Structure 1
Amino acid sequence: MLLKFFQNEARFPTHKSEVPKAVIAYIAKQIFFEPELYAQYDWTGRLITYHRTQIREFFGFREDTIEDAQKMAEWLCQHVLHHDHEFEHLRRNWLAYV
């Protein structure tokens, strides 16, 4: 579930209930598991941390850092706050930046 959610959303769900039951049932059927097993998955242990690491590596992502946040803040100050507060302006400039 984490893999497919990340593939679609480019982030992990914040809680179990964020994944729709229909999606859980659909994926469970594809891999021949009972959907109820999803409820048993430990969202606080080492296993989920390991799974998230594997998924990030598979997609070429990494966890963000304090340096990333600082760079984002600098970029926002340089490219957004001096111009306007319109979302479309932010989107255009961010896409040009990356």
Structure 2
Amino acid sequence: MTEHRHESHPAIVKRLNRAGGHLRSIVEMIEAGRPCTDVAQQLHAVEKAVASAKRALINDHIDHCLMHAETNDGVGSAVEEFRTISKYL
């Protein structure tokens, strides 16, 4: 497997680290007996953060990898990569 790194990856890692910390605080909220509405609101925020990171990663992949696949591996390869990643949209 080849290494895949893009300029956007450090920002995506930061988003996911923040979401991970936020998720750990939600566990603490549940253990502390905080109201379910508060917990649900915070869970919603974590879901949005993870979805945003996923969207950024997929858009970056489309922008960088698929655009260049036409010149490197051919259109067929680009189409196949798009089919594969579109499962996660």
| TM-score range relative to shorter protein | under 0.3
The TM-score normalised by the length of structure 1 is 0.23
Q: With a CA cutoff of 8 Å and minimum separation of 6, indicate the structure with the bigger relative contact order.
A: 2
The TM-score normalised by the length of structure 2 is 0.25
